[in-house]
């Protein structure tokens, strides 16, 4: 029998330790979370993607009474980004969430499986790692790539 161990290194930082570019992306994701349409779950998520052309694209989760017709913030942002800038490569994505009490979550959240797979597609298009910043009110997690979040994904890697 053979055992494979999968390890995902995560860097834990405070907002003040981020670069100005990373802070701008975190601020954009936090702002986007307040634009979510989440009347059923009351769980609002925002995402912000930095493209290699300098653009920052945001998205927010959009719920629908005919679940699962809605979409997550991450897919909202990545689909819009690629539709508007098909030649631009993703560099970084930041993700923030507001809980049912209206406050930013203390601990960071990570993308669901569907979003991880969708984001991995754009990491493959970028032909390089796309950094993932997961935002909490106290700690911020930085993961070096989307594939680190989905190590056994359907991919060309």
pLDDT tier for residue 147 given thresholds of 50, 70 and 90: very high
Total residues belonging to the chain: 157
The active-site residue, picked from 5, 74, 104, 123, is 74
Condensed to tens digits (0 to 9), the pLDDT of residues 70-121 reads 999 999 999 999 999 999 999 999 999 999 898 999 999 999 999 999 999 9
* The pLDDT of residue 130: 98
Question: Is the pLDDT assigned to residue 155 strictly greater than 70?
Answer: no
How many CA atoms, within 13 angstroms, populate the side-chain half-sphere of residue 152? 4
User: CB atoms < 10 A from the CB of 111, how many?
Assistant: 24
Domains, the chain: 15-143 (3.40.140.10)
* The pLDDT of residue 153: 79
**Nearest alpha carbon to residue 55 among 23, 92, 18, 15:** 92
Beta bridge partners of 95: 47, 134
**Rounded-to-integer distance, Cα 48 and Cα 3, Å:** 37
Calculate the CA dihedral of residues 140, 146, 64, 99 and round it to 10 degrees.
-10
Is 74 a residue of the active site?
A: yes
């Amino acid at each position: 029998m053979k055992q494979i161990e999968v390890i995902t290194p995560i860097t834990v930082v405070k907002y003040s330790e981020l670069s100005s570019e990373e802070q701008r992306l975190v601020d954009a994701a936090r702002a986007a979370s307040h634009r979510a349409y989440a009347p059923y779950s009351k769980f609002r998520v925002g995402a912000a993607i930095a493209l290699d052309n300098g653009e920052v694209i945001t998205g927010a989760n959009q719920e629908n009474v005919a679940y699962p017709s809605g979409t997550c913030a991450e897919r909202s942002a990545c689909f819009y980004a690629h539709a508007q800038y098909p030649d631009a490569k993703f560099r970084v994505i930041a993700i923030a969430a507001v809980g049912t009490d209206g406050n930013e979550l203390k601990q960071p959240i990570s993308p669901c499986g569907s979003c991880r797979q969708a984001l991995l597609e754009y990491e493959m298009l970028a032909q390089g790692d796309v950094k993932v910043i997961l935002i909490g009110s106290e700690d911020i997690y930085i993961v070096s790539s989307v594939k680190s979040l989905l190590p056994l994904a359907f991919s060309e890697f």
